[in-house]
Chain A
Amino acid sequence: MRKDYLIKRGIYYIIVWFVGITIDFILPRLIPGNVLGSIILGRIGGNLSAYGQNVQQEIEILVQQLGLSQYYHTPLYIQYFDYLKEIIRLNFGPSLTEFPVAVGTIIAEAAPWTFGIVIPAVVASFFIGNLLGRFAALARGTIKDYAILGLTMFLYTFPVFVTGEILIEFLAVDLHIFPTGGQYNTFVFLKPTLSLPFVWSVIYHAILPVSTLILFSLAGWIIGMRNNMIPILQEDYMNYYRLMGVSEREISNKAYRLALLPNFTSFSIALGYSVLGAVAIEYLFNYAGLGYYFNQAITGLDYPLLNGIFFMLVTAMVLSNFVADIVYGIIDPRTSHEETEGV
C-alpha cells in the first residue's frame, strides 16, 4: 500500500470531519439568538447562581458554542476557534434536559451501549448475509433464491422501527420471551459489574435490538454477494476447474472467497447505516444509547446534547470509513494504484 494514497484519503476525511463540525457550528447561529437564549434560560430556570461555579463556567461555554449574540460579542472567526478548542476537549456544555449534567458525561455513558449493539449487529449480518447470498447464488433461478432475495429485500425496505415494534409486540409483550426494553434487568438491582448475571442480563436485553438491526441490514450483503458471485461462477477459469474435476463444493468455496472482496468496501457504509438504524430503534427499546438521547434532545430542544451526539456520529462515520479504506488497501493492493477510480 502506498503511503501517499493513505495521506490523500486522510486529508479527505479530515475535510469531511471539519464540514460536519462546521454544520454543528453554523446551525445554532442561524436561529435568532434571543429565541435560543430564552429556551436555555427557560430550561435552566434563570437562576444560575443556584448552581456551583463549575456549572456557571459550563454555561459560559454553552453560550459561546451556541453563539448567542446577546451574551457574547466577538467576531465570527474567534467564535469558531473558541468552539473548536472546546470541541476538541469534548466540552459541549451542560445538557438542558438533564441539567446540570454535562453533555460529555451523557455521551460517554451512552456511546458504549450504542456501539455495543451496532458492532455485533454489523458483524453478524455480514456473516449471515454473505452465507445466505452464497446460498442464493448457488441456487439461482430457483424458488429458494427468490424467497431469500424477496424476504430480505422486504425487510430492508420496511421501516426499521416498525420491524422493532413488531418484534416487541409479538416476542416480548405477547410471548414474554424477551424483555420489552432497557439495557439490563433493573428489578433485581444488578450492579454494573463484570459478574455473570449482569453480563447475561445485558446480552439478554440486547438480543431484540441487535436482531432488529440484523434483519434491517441483511439484504445489502445478500444482494452484494449474489451479484458478485453469479458472474464469477460463470467465468472461464471456473469452467476450467469443473473440467479438471474439482468438486462443485470447492468451486463454490473459491468463488465465495473472490466475491467476498468487494463486500468489504460496503462494510463502512453498512456500519453507518446501522448506526442510523440504532438511532431510530433505541427509543423504542428504551435503550439508553446515543439514539435514545438523540430523540430526547430533539423532542426537548436540548441543543448542546444534540450537537454533541451529532459530533459523535460524524466522528464515528469518518473513522469507520477511514479504517475501511486502510483495510481494503491492505486486502486489495490494486486500490491504491487506481488514481482515477477513487473520488
Chain B
Amino acid sequence: MAQRKLGIFNVNIRIDKYGPFYNLLQGIWEQKVARVGLYILLAIIIFSLIGVFYTPYNPASTQFPRDLPPSPQHLLGTDDYGHDIFSQLLVGGFPVIGVGLLTGLIGTLIAILVGVTAGLYADTLIDRILSGITQIFLIIPGILIIELIGAYLGAVQIKLGYLTILLALSTTGWAWGARVLRSLVLSLRRREYILSSELVGESKFSIIFRQIIPNNLPFIASNFFFTAIYGITGFTFIYYFGLGSLTQINWGTMLYWSLGGEAYLRGLWWWYIPPGLMIGLVAFSFALINIGIDRVANPRLRVWDVKKYKKQLEKIGKKEEEAEVKWQM
C-alpha cells in the first residue's frame, strides 16, 4: 500500500497499487447509474447466451401458423412467415451486441491513434491533414456513406456481411473521439510534468502510453461506449434499409421483415417491439454506463448524497482506527 498525502491527512490508498484502470473501474462501479447499466447489459448477454445453447423451437423453421399473438406455446407469437419470434429473439442478440462492442473498440483505437498524433504534432502538416479528415467524417454522416456504398454493392448482388458492417462502422465512427482527444492532448502537452519527462529524455512512445493515455482514460472509456452506441444505431439502420445479409437471423433482420410485412399497420406489435426493445436496451445500457463515467471524470456533475457520504466517512474512520494509522494534523 502506498502512502499518499490527501489534503491534510496521510492515508493509505489501496487504489494506487492497481493503477488508473482499476481506479476508473472502481469509480464507475460506485456510480449507481452505471451499475444499473451494467446489470441490464449483463442480463441481455445472458439472455443471448442461452440462445446459443437452447431455443424452444428452431428459429429458422417456418412451419408454425402465421401471425399468432403471444401465447404459452409461442411466448412472443409468430410472424408473417411462420417463425417463432421468441426463438429468433434468443438467437439474434449476439451479432448486435458484438458489432456494437467491436465497433466501439476499433473506433476508439482509431480515435486514439489519430487524436493523440494530431495533438502531439499540433500545427504541423500531419496535424492539418489528420484534422481535415476528422472534420470530413464529423460533418458527413458515416451511416449515409455506408448506405450509399451498400446500395452500389447491390448492383453486383453483394449484401453486407457482419465483418463488412463492422469495418464500415468502425472506420466512420471515430471522428468525434479523435477531435476531443486532440484538444485534450493539446492542453495536456503544455503541463509541467509532460515537459519534465520530455526533458528527462523519455521517448514520445513512452509519454503517450505512460502519461497521456492514463490521464485521458475516463474520456477514452466514455468514447468507447459512445462509439458502441453509434455501432448499434448504424447496424439497425443498415438492416432497416435492407442492405445487410437478410438470410441471417438477428434483431436487425427481424425489424426489416416486420417493416416489410407492415406489422405496425396490422397491429402485430409482438413482431417489431421485442427486437426494437432489445436493441434499445443494449444501447440504453451503454448510455447509462457512459453517464456514470461522466460523473467519475467530472466530479462537479456528481450529486452528493450527504447521508451516504457521512456513512462512508464513518466506515473509513473505523477501518483506519483498526489499522492504527497515524494521523498527522
Tell me the A residues contacting B by CB distance below 8 Å: 12-13, 15-16, 19-20, 23-24, 27-28, 30-32, 35-36, 39, 140-141, 145, 149, 153-154, 156-159, 161-162, 165-166, 168-169, 173-174, 180, 223, 227, 230-231, 234, 272-273, 276, 279-280, 284, 294-295, 297-299, 301, 303, 306, 310, 313-314, 317-318, 321, 340-341, 343
Residues of chain B within 8 A (CB-CB) of A31 are: 152, 155-156
Q: Which of B144, B255, B273, B279 has the most CB of A within 10 A?
A: B144
Contact residue among A39, A166, A318 (Cβ-Cβ distance under 8 Å from B139)? A318
Q: Are B284 and A298 in contact (CB under 8 A)?
A: no
Write out the residue numbers on chain A whose beta carbons fall within 8 Å of the beta carbon of B236: 159
A–B complex contacts, Cβ < 8 Å, 21 sampled: A12-B135, A15-B132, A23-B140, A23-B145, A31-B152, A35-B155, A36-B155, A141-B303, A149-B291, A153-B291, A157-B229, A158-B277, A168-B264, A276-B141, A279-B144, A298-B154, A301-B151, A303-B151, A317-B139, A340-B186, A343-B182
Inter-subunit contact A317/B288 (CB<8 Å): no
Stretch at the interface among B3-11, B41-49, B86-94, B238-246: B238-246
Give the number of A-B contacts (CB < 8 Å): 156
Sample of 12 more A-B contacts, CB < 8 Å, known A161-B259, A166-B273, A303-B152: A15-B136, A16-B135, A27-B152, A140-B303, A153-B284, A157-B287, A165-B272, A169-B267, A234-B300, A272-B141, A340-B123, A340-B186
Residues of A within 8 A of B139 (CB): 13, 16, 272, 317-318, 321
B195 is an interface residue with CB less than 8 A from chain A: no
Q: Which residues of B in the span 87-139 have a Cβ within 8 Å of any Cβ on A? A: 122-123, 131-132, 134-136, 139
Separation of A279 and B237 alpha carbons in the complex (Å): 10
Q: Is B294 an interface residue (CB 8 A)?
A: yes
Please classify the interface of chain A as helix (H, G, I), strand (E, B), loop, or mixed, using the class held by over half of its residues.
helix
CB atoms of A156 and B259 under 8 A apart:
no
CA separation between A28 and B242, bound complex, in Å?
20
Are A340 and B122 closer than 8 Å at their CB atoms? yes
How near does chain A come to B198, taking the closest CB pair, in angstroms?
A: 19
B303 CB to closest chain A CB (Å) equals: 4
Chain B's nearest CB lies how many Å from the CB of A154? 5
| Those 10 A-B pairs whose CB atoms lie nearest each other, nearest first | A162-B276, A157-B283, A141-B303, A158-B280, A165-B264, A231-B300, A343-B131, A157-B284, A169-B264, A298-B151
Residue from B149, B154, B263, B298 having most chain A Cβ neighbours under 10 A: B154
CB within 8 Å for A28 and B152 given contacts A159-B276, A340-B186: yes
Max chain A C-beta neighbours (<10 A), residue from B150, B240, B279, B291 = B240
The answer to whether A317 touches B241, judged by C-beta atoms less than 8 angstroms apart, is: no
**Across the interface, do B154 and A174 meet the contact criterion of CB distance under 8 Å?**
no
**Residues of B near any A CB (own CB < 8 A):** 122-123, 131-132, 134-136, 139-141, 143-145, 147-152, 154-156, 179, 182-183, 186, 229, 232-233, 236-237, 240-243, 255, 259, 263-265, 267, 269, 272-273, 276-277, 279-280, 283-284, 286-288, 291, 294, 298, 300-301, 303-305
- Give Cα distance in the complex from A295 to B147, angstroms: 10
How far is A288 from B178 in the complex, measured between Cα atoms in Å?
A: 37
Residue of A whose beta carbon sits closest to that of B145: A23
Q: Which residue of B136, B152, B267 is within 8 Å of A173 (Cβ)? A: B267
Complex-state Cα separation, A158 to B283, whole angstroms:
8
Residues of B within 8 A of A306 (CB): 148, 151
Q: Which residue of the partner chain B has the closest CB to A141?
A: B303
Name the residue of chain A whose CB is nearest to the CB of B295. A227
Complex Cα–Cα for A301 and B255 (A): 21
Residue in contact with A39 in the complex, picked from B155, B186, B280, B298, CB distance below 8 Å: B155
Complex: how many Å from CA A169 to CA B276?
A: 14
CA distance A27 to B153 in the complex (A): 9
A13 to B136, CA, bound (A): 8
Q: Are the C-beta atoms of A16 and B136 separated by less than 8 Å?
A: yes
> In the bound complex, what is the Cα–Cα distance between A180 and B143 (angstroms)?
27
Across-interface contacts of B229 in A (CB, < 8 A):
157
Closest to B128 in A: A343
Select one of A12, A39, A166 contacting B264, CB under 8 A.
A166
Chain B contacts of A280 at CB under 8 A? 237, 240
If A165-B263, A173-B264, A272-B141 touch, whether A27 touches B149 (CB-CB below 8 Å) is yes
B263 partner residues in chain A, CB cutoff 8 A: 165
Q: Distance in Å from the Cβ of A152 to the closest Cβ of chain B? A: 10
CB neighbours (8 Å) of A162 from chain B are 255, 272-273, 276-277, 279-280
Known: A157-B280, A159-B279, A169-B264. A313 touches B144 (CB 8 A): yes
- Shortest Cβ distance from residue A26 to the other chain B in the assembled complex, whole angstroms: 10
Contacts of A27 in B (CB 8 A): 148-149, 152
Distance of A342 from chain B, by nearest CB (Å): 9
Provide the residues of chain A in CB contact with B233, threshold 8 Å. Answer: 159
- Chain A residues near B276 (CB-CB < 8 A): 158-159, 162, 165
**CB <8 Å contact, B305 and A141:** yes
Contact status of A341 and B183, CB under 8 A, knowing A153-B284, A166-B264, A301-B155: yes
| Most interface-central of B145, B152, B240, B241 (chain A CB within 10 A) | B152
**A158-B276, A162-B273, A162-B280 given; A153·B241 CB < 8 A:** no
For the complex formed, measure the closest distance between the CB of B309 and the CB atoms of chain A, giving whole angstroms.
12
Q: Is there contact, CB below 8 Å, between A174 and B267?
A: yes
User: Given contacts A165-B272, A166-B273, A341-B183, is CB(A297)–CB(B265) below 8 Å?
Assistant: no
Contacts of A173 in B (CB 8 A): 264-265, 267
For A153, the closest partner residue in chain B by CB is B287
